[in-house]
Amino acid sequence: MDIVFSPALQRLLAASGAIALLLVAVLEPELLQTLLPAAVAAFAALAFYQFPLAMVAMLVLTYGLALDIQIDLLTAVGGGGAGAALGAVVKVVPFALAGVLLVRYGLSSAINWPFMAFVAIAGLSLAILPIGRVAGFGDMARSFIGSTAPFVLGFALAPRRVWTALCRGAALVPVISAVASIFTDVAGLYPMFGTFGRFQGLHSAPFLAGFCVTAIFASTLEYLREFRLRWLLLGGANLAILLATQARAPFIAVGLFLLLVFVLSGPRIFPLKRKVDLVMGGMVPAVLLLGPALLYALQRFTGESENLSGRDIIWPYFLDAIEQRPLFGFGLGAGKLIVDPEDPTIKLLGSSAAHNEYLRLAVDAGVIGCAAIFLSIIIWIWNGTRRAKPVDKLVLRCALVAALLHSGFDNTLIASTAVMQFCFFAAALARARLESEQPQRGRRSSSSPRRALA
């Protein structure tokens, strides 16, 4: 299904909207201030409906330019309610893209296991909310939106070009952040280096590192599908940015991913000759590109090898909460509220986040709910790659293993980094399904003339 408005209907809608706004401006000028944002949103929705790739570009730029962080800064310096409202819009960009694709192309038949798991947890949270008394309905609603945003694209159908654009866009997010930060740093708007000299681009160093993880997944997938030099160079650039952030957990996750892909890829996926060429021929460029970044990262990797960046201090708070309600937790959103922000220790750390999705979700949904959520993600990706090309199957499953490891040391399911990561997974799975169906369609079309002759 591909429902596209005819050019005549588009002109009619645009002209009708313009005339309606003109009449409102003449008859009720004060009402225009209320209607204008809605009219702009309607025209934008119509444009994105006609050009879904523009909506994909908007999603990539939203996270590449760190609009969520920049809007938070705007709010902090006096943006007020407007800044907060814009921040909320940033969080629903994946819903907007999914809505556009659903209306135009239809609903996917693939089961969206993670989204369903969070719906079940939300329902359970409503049941236990009066008992837990930790998260209110507003906290729970915000947590539900943040938790399901990364997976909402799994409901939508779209042409292969849309999914390919999203996969490739994921590989550009860290580069966009890094390049744009040069200009913001020169202009004095936002520094490219943050606390302790860690490179952060337009983000914070941990967030930029999280985007680098997804970018390296995407670069590796595109390289092994085409063996084009640009994806190898882009992957190397993302790895250099990751090293410059000095983020240890993302680097370990990426190291595991690349090792698994290199070792488990057979000759059909990654021929031995290409592996040898990459190792031998890539040594000099890698030393030139990654050497300085690696030396920069080693300052923190070795100097703070026993420092868990406050995780060893904050994890006991979550473990104590899990012991109180181990089976079903305190309700969706409680993981953000279980730690008292006024606690002197938490103030010293500067963050109340668990930096461990297993602990956070175990507080939200208990051990049972946490296990159900991660099991749903495993089923979603593992089953989604059963009929995929060997390269897609290998890369996505290795990326899944790396993401599961990373979840033990960072918040990987609720931040903007999670949106990009699981939008990439959803796009790669959808593209793999389309490609697996093409040979079947080809066989059907080739057999139809034979039936006609018979």
pTM metric for this prediction: 0.86
Contacts of 414 (CB under 8 A, 6+ apart): 143, 146, 147, 357, 360
The 3-state DSSP composition of the chain as helix, strand, coil percent (nearest 5) reads 80, 0, 20
Do the beta carbons of residue 208 and residue 200 sit within 8 Å?
yes
Question: What parts of the chain have a pLDDT lower than 70?
Answer: 1-11, 13-14, 17-18, 21-22, 24-43, 74-89, 128-136, 280-285, 287-288, 299-309, 340-341, 346-350, 439-454
Q: What is the DSSP string of 82-145?
A: HHHHHHHHHHTHHHHHHHHHHHHH-B-SS--HHHHHHHHHHHHHHHHHHHH-SS-HHHHHHHHH
Containing H/E element for 59? Answer: helix 52-64
Q: In this predicted structure, what is the pLDDT of residue 32?
A: 60
End-to-end alpha-carbon separation of the chain, Å?
A: 31
Q: Where are the domains positioned within the chain?
A: 111-435
DSSP 8-state assignment for residue 76: I
Q: In this predicted structure, what is the pLDDT of residue 217?
A: 97
Helix 416-453 vs helix 52-64: angle between axes, to the nearest 10 degrees? 160
Q: In this predicted structure, what is the pLDDT of residue 449?
A: 42
Q: In this predicted structure, what is the pLDDT of residue 4?
A: 62
Q: In this predicted structure, what is the pLDDT of residue 48?
A: 80
**For 266-300, what is each residue's pLDDT tens digit?**
888 888 888 877 776 666 667 667 777 777 777 66
Q: In this predicted structure, what is the pLDDT of residue 306?
A: 56
**Residue found under tokens 């200009």:** 183
